[in-house]
Structure formats: C-alpha cells, structure tokens
Amino acid sequence: MALTLDTDTLNAALVLLIDPHEWRHRRVDSVHLEAGERGRWRASVDCTPPRAAAIPYGDDQVVIPLAFVEKGPMRDLNVADDAGEPLPVLTSQENTGLAAGALLHLLAVEGVDVEARMPALGDAVRLLVGGTGQMLDVEGLLHHGFLGETQVFDPRDLQQISDVTRTLMRTLAQNFILGVVMDGDCLDRRQLIKFSYFWHVDPTKSGQSRGRTWLAITLGSFGFQRSLIALDVPHAGDAASFHLEVHPPEGLSCRVELPPMRFLRQSRGFSDSSPTSVGHAYGAYHQAELSTNLTDDVDVIGEAALELYVSRRGSWLMTLLLSLFTFLFFLFGLWFDGALYVLRGQGPSGGVDPSALLLTLPGVLVGLLVSAREHVLASVLLMPIRTAAVTCSALLLVAAASLTFQLRDPFLVPLWNLGLGIAAVILLALALGAAIRGRRTRIAPRVYS
C-alpha cells in the first residue's frame, strides 16, 4: 500500500479533517433529479491543500481528503481536476486504514491507553469507519464504552474523549472520506476539484419522505400545503461556504433551505423566496465552540429542506383548462333550455351528433399527460393532478355516453348535476390551491447574518 500511516501522516490527516475551513474555501453542490429513482449529484470544491499538512502517497503524490460522502448506494463516481483530467481516489481498504489510524491516533493524543485496549479498540474503530454507520453502535460506544457485548472503553477513557473526537467518530461512522490522490505540486496552490456520482432516491425512505400519506400528497400537489423532502447534506459544513442547487424533475419547481449544522455556527446565508426551476441556497460556516456535555444521540448528517411544487404549466395547466371546459359543458347543458336536445343532435340543425366528438377528447388529453421517462418524485406529486384530469375526462365520457344512448329523466339531470359538482370541486381546488400557494410564497428572500 502506497499510503504509509506514520505519526506525521496521521497528524496531517487530523489537521485536514478537523479544521477543513482553513483550506476548503467554497463548495458548490448541484443535484439533478433525472429519471426513475436516480439522480446525479455533482460537486466542486475550491480549495488550497496546505503543504504543512500533506499526506504523502508514494514518492511524489499526496492524498487530499476532499469531502465526506454519506455511506450508501453510490455508482459511477467521477473525480476530476479543474482541467477536466480524471483523478484517482483511495481504495476502500486505504480509506478505512486512514480513517481508523487517524481516530486511534487522536484517542492516544487525548490520553486513552490505546495499546492496552487492543485488539478490541482497533476492531471496534475499523468496524465503525468501515461498516454501514449504524448510530446505535457509535452512541453505545461513546456513552457506555461497549460495542455490542464487547467493552472497548472504561469510564475513565470516556471522560478523556473530547467533543471534537466524538464528533469525528460520529461523522466517520456515517460517512467515508473521499481521498483524492494528486501530484505533490498541488500543495499551496488554489484549485478546483470536481466529483459526481449517481445517487439513488427512495421516496419511501425515512428522511427523504416522511409521513407521505395520500391526503398529504394530494394537498401538496394542489398547493394547499408544503411538500417537503428531507435531502441529506452531510457535507454542508465541509467548507467555509456552501452552495446547494437543486434541479427538480420536469413538471415541478422547488425551493431549498439549508439546515443548521450541529457543532458549526452559520454566520450568514441565503435561500430563495419562491419556487423556481432551480432551487438555490447558500450558507457560510465557521467552527463553533463545542459544548462540554454532549450526551444526547446526535445525527451529524444535516438535512436540507427541499420544498417541491407542481409547476403552473404542463399537467397543472392542462388539468385546469380541462376542468374549466368540463364545468362549462355541464353548466351550459343544464342551464340553457333545449341544450341537451341540441347535444343529442335532435336540434333544429339535426344531422351530426356532436356528442361523438367528446368521445375522442379524454383519450387525447390523457395521452398528453403521460410521460415515458420521469422521476419518481414527479410521478408521486403529479399523480393527484393527473387523477383530476382523468376524472374530468371520465365525466365527459359519461356525458357523451348519456347523450349517445338517449339516457332520460329521472336519471339524466341528476347525473349531469353530479358531473357539474365534481368538475366544480376540481376547478375550485386548483384555483384556490394556486392562490394559497402564491400567498405563501410571496415573501422576501431569506437572508441571515
């Protein structure tokens, strides 16, 4: 292995991991929600790797711990420099070795007798940084000194472990270090490093879609309440300033707001006031003074609030026009004397039966509302709007059938009154939801300092 874990290397790693704001100046993340349950997460980090804290790799290369990336499904990872040239990254084994070595070295610096705790401590730390990051395990280790049934720390050790170390242990339990291997001449030189990967979106997962009942989805689709998705951003405090852009699926607009980061103080920030085609939020962070008594369970993965809206075009606009047409069709049919006879083709002009034209309308409109490739979040949020459109189409189909097959009273007028009422409810829901949403989003951009 080209990575040598001596004392100087571990000291350098701790400096870079614990105080990243000194050398990571700015990070911009762009989230693209594409098709199915897939998304593309792109990030660029503006940084100046310090020569004084270099992690040597081989003869003339160094390792840059560019970011923490949440443990979980991630495919097609691409890392490149500012010229677009691909860069290698540490293997899983090297990553685990670096993270475990840094943690053990930090524990030794703080007075924990690491040698006396071996091999239990070494196995626990490697399991912690190389496993799936279950918070129950790390909290049990930090609170009671046990990992499962194995004692790793005694009470005296727990008193010596600082909040900085506890935070780093929690972070490495949930994230892995994206260690980028670069030439040694990158040190003390400001540069831009980019990386991206496919990101799996599970709308049923707790933390990305909480309590999404059909009623809540329907109210959010029409605009009566906010449709919030929790977007994990464990890296929001990785740099001195952080920008998050979210590109929602076709048919949706969004706004995004960054979370307050535990252990970090957000000095200033910005988030959009109203939904746009690209949501944007910004935060500037600096290290906060850590408390001396952190005993609560802490999730160091922050969650940005992603607020999704159905765009006032496409499916929403077509459904509005269709519900208006359906409402007016039933209204005029009931309001004007003899209108039903004219629609049957029994009016003065005779001849062509106009109700036959209505039979083609539902199929055309439903076909226009169907998209072959769309994101699962768009499917979920647009489903109530599409259901309303299909309902209006079905009402027109029933109306056409009642005219074509000569349905008469006492069934015809009640049937048409029912159709009028359903169309009126859909039209009113669309209009009222749009008004409530517009009033809720007409606020000034959120700027804080």
User: What's the mean pLDDT in 355-362?
Assistant: 55
pLDDT at 180 over 90: yes
pLDDT of residue 260 exceeding 70, the answer is: no
* Highest-scoring range by mean pLDDT, 248-257, 270-279, 291-300: 248-257
pLDDT band at 231 (very low <50, low <70, confident <90, very high): confident
- pLDDT given at position 359: 54
Residue 295 predicted with pLDDT over 50:
no
Task: Reply yes or no on whether the pLDDT at 352 is more than 50.
Answer: no
Query: What's the rounded mean pLDDT across residues 293-300?
Result: 40
The encoded tokens of residue 370 equal: 């169907």
What is the average pLDDT across 165-178? 86
Average confidence (pLDDT) over 87-105: 91
Where is pLDDT greater, at 14 or 290? 14
Mean pLDDT of 201-227: 69
Amino acid letter for position 319: T
pTM of the model: 0.76
Does the pLDDT of residue 213 top 50, yes or no? yes
Mean per-residue pLDDT, 293-298: 38
CB 156 within 8 A of CB 166: no
Query: Looking at the predicted structure, is the pLDDT value of residue 239 above 60?
Result: yes
Give the count of beta carbons closer than 10 Å to the beta carbon of residue 7. 10
Q: What are the extents of the domains in the chain?
A: 1-200, 315-441
Give the pLDDT confidence score for residue 164 in this predicted structure.
Answer: 84
Q: Taking residues 420-446, report their average pLDDT.
A: 82
Give me the mean pLDDT over the 130-141 stretch.
Answer: 67
Mean pLDDT, range 282-310, rounded to an integer: 60
pLDDT attached to residue 364: 54
Q: How confident is the model at residue 68 (pLDDT cuts 50, 70, 90)?
A: confident
**HEC string for the chain:** CCECCCHHHHHHHHHHHHCHHHCEEEEEEEEEECCECEEEEEEEEEECCCHHHCEEECCCEEEEEEEEEECCCEEEEEEECCCCCECCECCHHHHHHHHHHHHHHHHHHCCCCHHHHCCHHHHHHHHHHHCCCCHHHHHHHHHHCEECCEECCCHHHHHHCCHHHHHHHHHHHHEEEEEEEEEHHHCCCCEEEEEEEEEECCCCCCCCCCCCCHHHHHHHHHCCCCEEEEEEECCCCCCCEEEEEEECCCCEEEEEECCCCCCEEEEEEEECCCCECCEEEEEEEEECCCCCCCCCCCCCCEEEEEEEEECCCCHHHHHHHHHHHHHHHHHHHHHCCCHHHHHCCCCCCCCCCCHHHHCCHHHHHHHHHCCCCCEHHHHHHHHHHHHHHHHHHHHHHHHHHHHHCCCCCCCHHHHHHHHHHHHHHHHHHHHHHHHHHHHHHCCCCEEEC
What pLDDT was estimated at residue 444?
43
Tokens of 253: 């607009």
Per-residue confidence (pLDDT) for residue 339, from 0 to 100: 64
Mean pLDDT of 424-443: 84
How much of the chain, in percent, has pLDDT values that exceed 90? Answer: 20
